[in-house]
Amino acid sequence: MWTISENSFTAETQRHKETIFTIGNGYLSTRGALEEGYPNESRATFVHGVFDDVPIAITELANAPDWLSFNVLLNGERFSLDSGTILKFERVLDLRTGVLTRTVRWKSPSGLIAAFKFERFASLADEHLLCLRCVVTPEFDGAVEVRAALNGNTDNEGLAHWRWMSQSQRDLDDGQQAVHLHSRTRMSGIDLILAMRLCASSPLQPDYWDVESIPTLRQVFDARRGETIAVTKFVGVATSRDSESPLALALERVAKPSSWEKALEEQRQAWAEEWKRTDVTIEGDDEAQIAVRFSLFQLLIAAPRNDPRVNIGAKTLSGFGYRGHAFWDTEIYMLPVFTFTAPHVARNLLEYRYLTLSAARDKAREYGYEGAWFAWESADTGEEVTPMWVPDFRDKRKLARVWTGDHAIHISADVAFGTFQYWRVTGNDEWFSRQGAELILDTAKFFASRAEWQEARGCYAYSDVIGPDEYHDRVDNNLYTNRLAQWNLTTALDVLEWLRTHHPEKADDLIQSLDLSEARLAKWREVAEKIYLGVRPDGLMEQFEGYFKLKDVNLADYEPRTKSMHEIFGFEGANEYQAIKQPDVLMLFHMLREDYSDEVIRVNYDYYNTRTDHTFGSSLGPSIQAIVACMMGYPDDAYEHFIRAARADLRDVRGNAKDGIHAASAGGTWQAVVFGFGGLRLTSSGWEAHPQLPKHWKRLSFRFIHRGELQTVDLHNPK
């Protein structure tokens, strides 16, 4: 159960499949577009940190110059799936090795037949190396021509980001030849180099077509029926973010591999290491097995291994959706996967937040607050890049205002939460004292300054906020927000105590630099104590103030339906009903399990379950719902939600997988398995498992690293 595959080609679903067949190595990812191109494809490679300006949405990951381009001509007829006849088609992504393979048997319009095998991978052993091989076996005697190009004329759905700078054909040190293309982003001025080298089974003496922005190598082979021609295209890639001499770096890396087989062997080894720490085994449920591995794979290829200046966008590096911007999805949905299985990656992601602290402080100050208010959408600098306006889908000349950047304050607590969880799981005191503690202290400072004292009620409030459930925007006292702010404040006080004890100098530094006077700390205590929470005597918690007064709704009454409750009620209407996009309140049970009794969980689960738009609401909801259902002892109910999360991309249940992987759903899928069915919980002394396996699962086994030690949990269903 290691492969994602298909055995026919469908033009209509190609963009979805391009997302599914994305490969990558944590430095870049490349969508599964065909080497030779196809009409209306959504071909893209995204390199971490390579952002460029766009109107309104400020900045986006620039679709990099294309390294894939590879064309084959049979007696002058260009191989393309939109002409001739496809006699056989198979595509396989091997998750164990990160290699994408396509085999095609094709008959040209004039009747020439050949078998093709394309293989590609982004090297995990050397993140600056990309490898592609094309094997052609003609069923005729004649000319087989190959054309391998680097193409600088890419764009982001119509937005051109690249300027051509230079290109050349040149000798490498060992006498081989390489072709390079130097492109530069138009506004941000980032240089990107691609360097290409060809190897072949037969002797190569390619023509060099020195066409500006598309340097091309072209070779015509005198081919015989049944005799195989194999051409390997190595591409080195580097940017001015990586090196002062990206050209030298790209040329060095492209020269390295002695053969396709050697490069592939290193790839296999690197991935084997990766899976040692991260693999999850599920027996008795093939769909669940492959889905959790696919989710892990997609997160692992998107995760920056060596660069703390970048984060993971809501669509990873696999599509144009959300323009490469990072959200709270990272800390709450994806980060736990890395915290538990790849702590070095988790630390990069948290260090990114540390490096963007000054932008978060600027944002808070701009709105009149203190401390660190992180950007709702964050890109290269950490400044707020949430577009203030998006096109109104009913009238293309109009624009609709987007409010999340101004009102979704919970992001700061999410960052603090992820930081604290990382510390708790890894026990990395060194990093925590150096960077992590400051993240928790400065976000607490923000929440204390943002809290409004309401004299009449004697409580602190956060009014006019947007919580996770976006069916209701600009509400007062969203419980998720208030409770996490409270957690942030009390945790910050604990952290400061810990620092004073274990790192007194660092404590002094921070007390000075963040102005953590006793008066301020007293205020933190007071806000945490007196924050409005809205818990009823029976334990039922109101999602936000006034929620219970909204029109009630039982979503079962609207079944069957094919669209979200948001679409059914309309923008304004959704605010008037209790229908919610994702389970805001239940998230707290997942995140702060030890603070809530089973009874409280049950009361709230029962209330919110029927009011949550599980099917067409947020893709972030089902995994949380699954975890909380497991807490309740309903593993089979949980499974229904889990499998919805697991299918988000593979089955394209929301119809938008073409825009890229639902990264939060992928992280949530892993969390549902590990924290839900596996029942993994941290305790003060270590960890415990409280398994709740679905009936049909025979076995669940997973690994994680706890305080530096690899742990294995192996659970068997008693039935």
Report if residue 367 touches a second copy, rule: CB under 8 A.
no
Q: Which of residues 102, 120, 161, 662 is near a second copy by CB under 8 A?
A: 161
CA distance 384 to 151: 32
Instruction: Give percent helix, percent strand, percent coil of the chain, each to the nearest 5.
Output: 40, 25, 35
Minimum Å gap between C-beta 399 and a second copy is: 6
Q: Which of residues 109, 391, 546, 633 is near a second copy by CB under 8 A?
A: 391
Q: Which is nearer to a second copy, 5 or 153 (CB)?
A: 153
Which runs of E-coded beta strand occur in 11-158? 23-24, 28-30, 45-47, 51-54, 58-61, 70-74, 77-78, 85-94, 99-107, 113-122, 129-138, 142-149, 155-156
Q: Which of residues 153, 258, 269, 306 is near a second copy by CB under 8 A?
A: 153
Minimum Å gap between C-beta 340 and a second copy is: 37
Q: Which is nearer to a second copy, 386 or 612 (CB)?
A: 386
Q: Which is nearer to a second copy, 406 or 476 (CB)?
A: 406
Quick one: which segment of 212-220, 267-275, 346-354, 536-544 binds a second copy (CB under 8 A)?
A: 212-220
Choosing from 36, 252, 470, 545, which is the catalytic residue?
Answer: 470
CA 627, 682, 669, 289 torsion: positive or negative?
A: negative
Binding mask 397-416 for a second copy (x = CB under 8 A): xxx-----------------
Residues 31-90 close enough to bind a second copy by CB under 8 A:
37, 55-56, 58, 71
Q: Which of residues 2, 38, 140, 209 is near a second copy by CB under 8 A?
A: 209
Spatial CB neighbours of 106, under 8 Å, sequence gap ≥ 6: 79, 81, 84, 85, 86, 87, 113, 114, 116
- Triad 51, 53, 55: Cα angle to 5°: 140
Active site residue 470: yes
According to DSSP, residue 81 is labeled T
Report if residue 186 touches a second copy, rule: CB under 8 A.
yes
Q: Which of residues 389, 453, 563, 681 is near a second copy by CB under 8 A?
A: 389
Q: Which is nearer to a second copy, 186 or 520 (CB)?
A: 186
Report if residue 216 touches a second copy, rule: CB under 8 A.
yes
> Of 67, 58, 57, which Cα lies nearest the Cα of 23?
67
Count of C-beta atoms within a 10 Å radius of residue 598: 11
Quick one: which segment of 155-163, 294-302, 687-695, 710-718 binds a second copy (CB under 8 A)?
A: 155-163
Q: Which of residues 11, 86, 87, 211 is near a second copy by CB under 8 A?
A: 211
CA distance 262 to 177: 19
Q: Which is nearer to a second copy, 398 or 681 (CB)?
A: 398
Q: Which of residues 92, 143, 230, 388 is near a second copy by CB under 8 A?
A: 388
Q: Can you give 150-180 as a three-state secondary structure string?
A: CECCCEECCEECEEEEEEEEEECCCCCEEEE
According to DSSP, residue 78 is labeled E
Quick one: which segment of 299-307, 392-400, 561-569, 690-698 binds a second copy (CB under 8 A)?
A: 392-400
Beta partners for 70? 148
Quick one: which segment of 172-180, 333-341, 391-399, 565-573 binds a second copy (CB under 8 A)?
A: 391-399
24 three-state secondary structure: strand
Q: Which of residues 98, 236, 382, 387 is near a second copy by CB under 8 A?
A: 387
The first and second tokens of residue 74, run together, are: 């049979």
| Bond preceding residue 560 cis, omega within 30 of 0 | yes
Report if residue 503 touches a second copy, rule: CB under 8 A.
no
Report if residue 225 touches a second copy, rule: CB under 8 A.
no
Which runs of E-coded beta strand occur in 226-291? 229-239, 280-283
- Backbone φ and ψ of 361, nearest 5°: -65, -40
**Residues at the interface with a second copy (CB under 8 A):** 37, 55-56, 58, 71, 149, 153, 155, 158-161, 186, 209-214, 216, 384, 387-389, 391, 396-399
Q: Which residues are catalytic?
A: 470
